A and B are shown apart, each in its own frame.
Chain A
Amino acid sequence: MMWDLANKKIILIGGPGGVGKTTLAAALGVSLGLRGYRTLVLTVDPARRLAQALGFKDFAYSIKKVISQDYPELQLTASMLDSEHYFDKVIERFARSPEQKKKILENRLYRTMVESLGGSHEYAAMERLLEFVSSDEYDKIIVDTPPTQNALDLLQAPQRLANFMDNSVLKWFQKKGGLVLFQRGTQMAMKALQTILGSEFLDNLAAVLGDLEGMQAGFRSRHLAVMELFRDPSSAFVLVTQASEARFLESVEFHKTLQKENIALERLILNRLEPDFQSSSPIELEKDCLTWFTALQKHFEELRLVQQKWSEAFQAAIKVPTIRVKRKSTLMSDIHALKQLGDELIG
Chain B
Amino acid sequence: MVKPSYLEEIISRKVVFFTGKGGVGKSAIASATALLAQRHGKAAFLVSWNPFDQQARPLPYQTLGIPHLLLSGPDCFREYALNILKFEKVVNLVLENKVVNTFISAAPGLTEAVIAGKIWDLSQKNPDAVVLVDLPASGHAVSFFSSPLGLRKLFRMGLVHREIERICEMMLSPSTLIQLLSIPEELSVSETLELKKKLLSLGEFNFSPIFLNQCLPEFPGKPLSKENAKSALSGKTHELFNYYSTLLEQESDAFSVLQQAGLGIRKLSRLSCPEWITTVEAISEALEHS
B155 touches A116 (CB 8 A): no
Chain A interface residues toward B at CB < 8 A: 16-19, 22, 47-49, 108-109, 112-113, 115-118, 121, 146-147, 149-150, 152-153, 163-166, 168-169, 172, 182, 185-186, 188-190, 192-193, 195-201, 204-205, 209, 242, 245-247, 249-250, 253, 275, 277-279, 281, 283-286, 288-297, 299-300, 302-303, 305-306, 309, 329-331
- In this complex, which of B27, B244, B276 has the most chain A Cβ atoms within 10 angstroms of its Cβ? B244
A19 touches B237 (CB 8 A): no
> 4 new A-B pairs (CB below 8 Å) besides A190-B100, A198-B158, A277-B236?
A168-B102, A196-B159, A291-B219, A302-B272
B137 touches A249 (CB 8 A): no
Q: B66 near A: Cβ within 8 Å? A: no
Q: B240 near A: Cβ within 8 Å? A: yes
Minimum-distance CB pairs A-B, first 8: A17-B22, A18-B23, A291-B221, A292-B221, A302-B272, A329-B246, A288-B222, A279-B236
From known contacts A47-B190, A117-B108, A329-B247, infer whether A296 and B240 are also in contact, taking CB-CB under 8 Å: yes
Q: Which residues of B contact A300 (CB under 8 A)?
A: 240, 243-244
A164 touches B105 (CB 8 A): yes
Output the nearest chain B residue to A19 by Cβ-Cβ distance. Answer: B23
Q: Which residues of B contact A201 (CB under 8 A)?
A: 107, 155, 158, 160
State A113–B108 Cα separation when bound (angstroms): 5
Q: B252 near A: Cβ within 8 Å? A: no
Chain B interface residues toward A at CB < 8 A: 21-25, 27-28, 50-52, 54, 57-58, 80-81, 84-85, 90-91, 93-94, 96-100, 102-110, 112, 136-137, 139-140, 143, 146-147, 150-151, 154-155, 157-161, 183, 186-188, 190, 217, 219-224, 228, 232-237, 239-244, 246-247, 250, 270, 272-276
- In this complex, which of B85, B243, B276 has the most chain A Cβ atoms within 10 angstroms of its Cβ? B243
Partner of A297, one of B108, B109, B240, B275: B240
Q: How many A-B residue pairs have CB under 8 A?
A: 238
Q: How far apart are B277's CB and chain A's nearest CB, in angstroms?
A: 9
B57 touches A18 (CB 8 A): no
Q: Which residues of B contact A115 (CB under 8 A)?
A: 108, 143, 146-147, 150
Partner of A118, one of B140, B160, B228: B140
Partner of B244, one of A16, A113, A296: A296
State A242–B22 Cα separation when bound (angstroms): 12
Partner of B102, one of A166, A192, A197, A279: A166
A192 touches B54 (CB 8 A): no
Partner of B22, one of A18, A112, A302: A18
Q: Which residues of B contact A147 (CB under 8 A)?
A: 22, 137, 139
Q: Which DSSP category, helix, strand, loop or mixed, fits chain B's interface? A: helix
B232 touches A283 (CB 8 A): yes
State A16–B27 Cα separation when bound (angstroms): 15
Q: How far apart are A275's CB and chain B's nearest CB, in angstroms?
A: 7
Q: How far apart are A191's CB and chain B's nearest CB, in angstroms?
A: 9
Q: Which residues of B contact A169 (CB under 8 A)?
A: 99, 102-103, 106
Q: Which residues of B contact A48 (CB under 8 A)?
A: 186, 190
B220 touches A192 (CB 8 A): no
B272 touches A17 (CB 8 A): no
30 residue pairs A–B, Cβ–Cβ below 8 Å: A17-B23, A48-B186, A115-B150, A117-B106, A118-B52, A163-B102, A169-B103, A182-B99, A185-B93, A190-B99, A190-B100, A192-B94, A197-B107, A198-B159, A201-B107, A209-B106, A245-B275, A247-B23, A249-B58, A277-B239, A281-B234, A281-B235, A285-B228, A289-B222, A291-B220, A292-B220, A295-B220, A296-B219, A300-B240, A303-B270
